[in-house]
Amino acid sequence: MPNGFYKFNPKTLSYEKVKLGFKHIAKRMIWVVISSIAFALLFVWIAFYVIDSPKEKLLEKENNELKAQVEDLNTRIDLMSDVLLDIEDRDDNVYRTILEADPVPTSERYPLLMERPGSDSLSRSEASERLKEANKKADKLMVRLAAQTKSLEELEKLADKKSEMLSCIPAIRPLKNMYTVTSGFGRRYHPVLKTLRSHTGVDIAAPKGTPIYATADGVVSSENPGGGYGICVVISHGYSYKTLYAHMSKKAVRAGQRVKRGQLIGYVGTSGMATGSHLHYEVIKGDQRVNPVYYFYSDITPEEYNAILESSKKVNQSLS
C-alpha cells in the first residue's frame, strides 16, 4: 500500500506529495473494513431473501405439488361423500322401508368426532390447513362407511328372515285347479245339523281323489280335531300360522313330517261330516280362524282372485 498521496497546491500550481501519518492510515483501514462488512452483509441478505437457492427452488416446487395433491384429495373425498350420501338415502328410504326397519340414527352416521391427536402440531400454513381438513373429512367418511356396513348387515339378516317368514305364510291354493268355493267363510247353514253356524273355513268342491297341497312350508302337526273333520291334516307353519285340511279320503303325510309349500299332503274325500266330495280348508292365525280366501294371492291373477272372493261371499249352505 502506498504510504502517501498527492495534493494540489494553488500557490505553486502543482501537485505535491503529502506524507501520511499512522493515525490517518489506521482510519482509512477501519473505514475499508467496515464498508467490506457492510457489503458482505448486503450480499448475504440478497442471497437469502431475494435470490432463491436451487434447494429453495426445489422445496417451493415440492410445496406447490403437495398443495395440488391435497386439493385433489379434498375433491375426491367430497365426491366419495356425495356417493355415500346417495347410498345412505336409498338405505333409509328404500331398503329399510321395504324391510320395515327404522332409519339409521343420525348420531350413528354423524357423531361428534374428536380432534385427531397431534393435528395441532402441524404448522398453520395454507397447505397444512387443507391437509387437516382432508383428514377430518376422511375420518367422518370412515365413520359413515362403518355405519353403512352395519346397516347393510342388519338388512341382510332381516331379508333372510323375511323370505323365511314369507315361505311360512299360506299363499297358494290347496287344490291345483281352483274348483268353485262352494261355501265361504262366516255364518252358513249347516247341511247336516240344519242350523246357522259359523263356518270356520272354505269348502272347495272337487272330485274324490283330487290331490291336496300344503299352502306354505311347515311341519305336520300331531293334533287331530277328529269328529266332523274326518281324515284331517293340520300343518304348523310358525309365525303363529296353521292350516287345516279336512274330509280327506287319504293322507299323504305323517305327523312330525316337514313339508314344503306345494307338496302333496292328501286327497279330497267325504270323510267326517260331509255331504259331498270336497276340501274343507282353514287358515288359523294365533287363536283366530281367518278367511282363507285372503291367502290365495300367490298363484292367481287379480281376476281369478275377485271371482273366488265373490263366490265365497255367497250365502249358501256349507258342505261342512
Provide the β-strand partners of residue 233. 245
What is the nearest approach in angstroms of Zn ion to the Cβ of residue 189? 12
Task: List the interface residues with Zn ion, window 202-221 (CB under 5 A).
Answer: 203
Q: CA-to-CA distance for 38 and 69, rounded, in angstroms? A: 43
Q: CA-to-CA distance for 131 and 281, rounded, in angstroms? A: 71
Residue nearest Zn ion, Cβ-based: 280
* Cα–Cα distances in angstroms (integers) from residue 26 to residues 18, 20, 40, 83, 198, in the given order: 16, 10, 21, 81, 136
If the CB atoms of residues 217 and 282 are measured against Zn ion, the closer one turns out to be 282
If the CB atoms of residues 14 and 195 are measured against Zn ion, the closer one turns out to be 195
Which of 231, 273, 280, 283 lies at the binding interface for Zn ion (CB under 5 A)? 280
Task: List the interface residues with Zn ion, window 162-181 (CB under 5 A).
Answer: none
Q: CA-to-CA distance for 233 and 227, rounded, in angstroms? A: 13
Instruction: Please give the backbone phi and psi of residue 33, each rounded to the nearest 5 degrees, phi first.
Output: -65, -45
**DSSP H/E element including 167:** helix 126-168
Does residue 247 interact with Zn ion by CB under 5 A?
no
What is the nearest approach in angstroms of Zn ion to the Cβ of residue 245? 11
What is the nearest approach in angstroms of Zn ion to the Cβ of residue 279? 9
Q: CA-to-CA distance for 313 and 297, rounded, in angstroms? A: 17
What is the nearest approach in angstroms of Zn ion to the Cβ of residue 199? 6
What is the nearest approach in angstroms of Zn ion to the Cβ of residue 201? 5
The residues of the shown chain that bind Zn ion, judged by CB under 5 A, are 203, 280, 318
